[in-house]
Amino acid sequence: MQDSRAREAQLAGEAIPRLVIRYAIPAIVGMVVNATYNVVDRYWIGQLKDVNAMSGIGLTTPLTMVALGFMLLVGIGTTASISIRLGEKRHDEAERILANGFTLALAAGALLTVAGQLFLEPVLLLAGASPATLPYASDYMRIVLWGAMPNTIGFAMNHTIRGAGNPRRSASTQILGAGLNIVLDPIFIFGLDMGVRGAALATVISQIVSAVWVLSYFAGAGSNLKLKIRLMRLKAKAVGQILSIGISPFAMQVAASLVSVFANRALRATGGDVAIGAMAVINSVTILFFMPILGINQGLQPILGYNYGAGNFSRVREAWRFGVLLASAIVTTGFLAVQLFPQTIIRIFIDDAGLVAVGTRGLRIFLAMLPLLGFQVISTVYFQSVGKPRAAIVASLLRQVIILLPLYLILPNRLGLTGVWLASPIADFTSFAVIAVLILREMGQLKKKSSDLPARADHPRAEHSAGDPASGR
């Protein structure tokens, strides 16, 4: 109780810049470490100096996005449900949700493995695989799919560790898995001469170790929740709670996967396998700059949500502004790097003259609007944090589905490969403009509320306006 009160005092009174950094730094570290799985695989595969191998790995992106969607479906849904039950002091119900979340993760992992093995090659061909790249993509994914079950369990259950109040243990899981993958990749790829299959095997072993590490936490004395076999039988109420919360990020990942399929098909039609390989590298670079922004998101969520609920609207505006400033500084640094040193960045991953030439031009165009990304992402998380789901969904799906998907269908037919690269900055700028209208109007309303209700940090706003955030208006 004392820790909870101290945390609330921090959220309500600590200087916003210090508070945001305090909350964001651990999350940034965790997100960056988590991103190294794919980036490290692609780095070492690039050292094979085989464009078809790099392109083959790039073709697996839609599948990995769907897999991540299932992990988020269970992980976010279970974590949020557990947090609510713990806040309500319903410990037994929290343990039932934990156990049901484990069962759902097990089922989701099994579904991914079976369906993936059965339909892998048709899906890869649909995603743009050629006779030259299909063997690499298939070799990689067939092994990775065998790790879908431990990976889904480890990812989803690790989310619940953070939700149950142990972010350090959660971060240690990410560091353990990523660190092991970094060590094993060169051993299996080069030492055992396994190529892309070695990268896949290193990933699966790392995921298994992470899953065991996560499950050992719930069996130990350090956890306030225990994973009990007798509670693993699925209950409609618990499953409904988990899925209702997790369905939004799941849908967004599936939508992103669909967009990735169209992108790969456009790349193959306009630039061949080399263009798909270049996009694989560009995506890896994008991830490195995007993950810190997601870390800032995680740090901002409790700050925005608590102060909005408490009626501290001036602190909400300040936190949003500081989050945008911090995120924009990161992506602007990334923008300068890719515009000034694109060749150097591409060559870090693969030193093939043809791919470097295509990738250099593609990197500059594809990330031309990178400085706008921080504003978009932080503004989107604002709507999520204060309980405005309709605005959050519009902001989340606007770029990927509403704008980007049609552009991938239209521009390549008119501009060739350049059209594929241009689709991203056009979508970035358009979605930035729409989100700017939404968020600036929202901030104007908060400013008016701040002037109407000065110094209301202790006002129990949630008691008489709890329905307002949920309305999405």
- What pLDDT does residue 452 have? 64
**SS3 for 387?**
coil
DSSP 224: S
Label residue 383 by pLDDT band (50, 70, 90).
confident
- What pLDDT does residue 84 have? 64
- What pLDDT does residue 87 have? 57
- What pLDDT does residue 77 have? 80
- What pLDDT does residue 466 have? 38
CA 109 to chain centre: 18
- Of 8-12, 272-276, 402-406, the one with minimum mean pLDDT is 8-12
Average pLDDT over all residues of the chain: 83
> Closest Cα to residue 292, out of 32, 61, 108?
32
Please write down the HEC assignment for all residues of 8-74: HHHHHHCCHHHHHHHHHHHHHHHHHHHHHHHHHHHHHHHCCCCHHHHHHHHCCHHHHHHHHHHHHHH
Label residue 472 by pLDDT band (50, 70, 90).
very low
Q: Phi/psi at 408 (nearest 5 deg)?
A: -65, -25
Greatest mean pLDDT range, 163-177, 394-408, 451-465? 394-408
- What pLDDT does residue 314 have? 82
Q: Phi/psi at 336 (nearest 5 deg)?
A: -60, -40
Q: What percent of the chain has pLDDT over 70?
A: 87
Residue ranges per domain, the chain?
A: 2-470
Label residue 8 by pLDDT band (50, 70, 90).
low
- What pLDDT does residue 458 have? 46
pLDDT in tens, 314-332: 888 888 999 999 999 999 9
> Closest Cα to residue 214, out of 73, 36, 75, 70?
75
How many other C-beta atoms are found inside a 10 Å radius of the C-beta of residue 9?
10
pTM of the predicted model as reported, rounded to 2 decimal places: 0.75
The C-alpha atoms of residue 438 and residue 362 are separated, in whole angstroms, by 31
